[in-house]
């Protein structure tokens, strides 16, 4: 199927023409409050339900901010997806480990799924996405059984239906990213080491000069995914480094967002031939 996408993006984004937004408290641990910012299409049909896209920022589980994916959320909310920018605990802000970050990521998806009627979400079309360590968290919500918050309702699934991963640190084992923080727990934490049958369809975006993720790691991930009969697409970008997809690198922001759009069309989450103007 041929997909033609016309994407006109200026350097200044205008909230008023793009989306409605709100901030919602989804979790509180002692005095720590965690919020998600919700972006919805300007006009919603109350009789319909919509796909959801949940974004986790990068920063090595130590730093970062949920605003990293604001431009992605503004684009995809125009395309008819309810988008969520999720905060989670990090080392620098909350003195926590990557394990607490994953607990929060899982809680956020359970919260969205549990409130599907409120958000008008189609629970069969929840997409988890993120960059770097946020990409690891997105993949881990789908593949890792451990590290759920004690207060979570485990009868509500935290497993997304699709994954969109931007230079994700998917190998946390020896020689992989973050092993010094994870240690031997990588066996129960690293997405690469926990791929299993039924893994959600996935697309990975990676620059060939990424200092944290070798191309061979992403290629092996794709190979293992396909071995268990799960769809996995890999998009490589010659000469690009870590974080190349962010909006400040406008050329590759456009390229990767268009490829993300095509992937979601291929899954039936979006209709083809969008014309999106952001100004």
Query: Would residue 1 count as lying in a domain?
Result: no
The percentage of the chain sitting over the pLDDT mark of 70, rounded to a whole number, equals 90
Query: Would residue 260 count as lying in a domain?
Result: yes
State the pLDDT at residue 278: 45
Query: Would residue 274 count as lying in a domain?
Result: yes
Question: Which domain range does residue 237 map to?
Answer: 6-278
Query: Would residue 54 count as lying in a domain?
Result: yes
State how beta strands 275-278 and 232-237 pair: unpaired
CATH code, domain with 182: 3.40.50.1820
Number of domains in the chain: 1
Query: Would residue 64 count as lying in a domain?
Result: yes
State the pLDDT at residue 276: 63
State the pLDDT at residue 87: 98
Query: Would residue 75 count as lying in a domain?
Result: yes
User: How large is the average pLDDT for residues 156-165?
Assistant: 98
pLDDT band at residue 94 under the 50/70/90 scheme = very high
Which residue in 174, 168, 244, 231 sits closest to 202, CA to CA? 231
The pTM assigned to this predicted structure is 0.92
Q: Which residues of 61-76 are buried (b: 16+ CB within 10 A; e: fewer)?
A: bbebebebbbbbbbbb
State the pLDDT at residue 225: 98
The yes-or-no verdict on residue 132 having pLDDT over 60 is yes
pLDDT higher at 10 or 236: 236
State how beta strands 121-131 and 162-166 pair: parallel
pLDDT band at residue 51 under the 50/70/90 scheme = very high
């Amino acid at each position: 199927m041929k997909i033609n996408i016309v994407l006109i993006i200026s350097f200044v984004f205008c909230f008023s023409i793009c989306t409605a937004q709100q901030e919602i408290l989804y979790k509180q641990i002692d005095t720590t409050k965690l919020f998600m910012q919700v972006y919805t299409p300007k006009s919603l049909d109350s009789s319909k339900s919509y796909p959801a896209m949940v974004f986790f920022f990068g920063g090595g589980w130590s730093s970062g901010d949920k605003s990293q994916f604001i431009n992605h959320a503004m684009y995809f909310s125009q395309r008819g997806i309810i988008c969520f920018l999720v905060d989670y605990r990090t080392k620098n802000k909350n003195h926590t480990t990557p394990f607490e970050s994953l607990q929060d990521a899982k809680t956020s998806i359970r919260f969205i799924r549990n409130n599907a009627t409120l958000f008008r979400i189609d629970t069969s079309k929840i997409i988890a996405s993120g960059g770097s360590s946020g990409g690891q968290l997105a993949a881990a919500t789908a593949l890792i059984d451990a590290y759920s918050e004690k207060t979570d309702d485990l009868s509500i699934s935290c497993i997304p239906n699709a994954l969109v991963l931007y230079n994700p640190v998917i190998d946390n084992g020896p020689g992989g990213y973050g092993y010094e923080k994870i240690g031997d727990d990588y066996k129960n934490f690293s997405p690469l080491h926990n791929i299993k049958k039924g893994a959600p369809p996935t697309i990975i975006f990676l620059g060939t000069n990424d200092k944290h993720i070798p191309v061979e790691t992403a290629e092996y991930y794709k190979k293992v995914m396909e071995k268990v009969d799960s769809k996995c697409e890999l998009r490589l970008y010659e000469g690009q480094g870590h974080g190349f997809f962010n909006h400040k690198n406008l050329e590759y922001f456009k390229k990767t967002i268009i490829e993300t759009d095509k992937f979601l069309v291929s899954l039936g989450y979006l209709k083809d031939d969008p014309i999106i103007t952001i100004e």
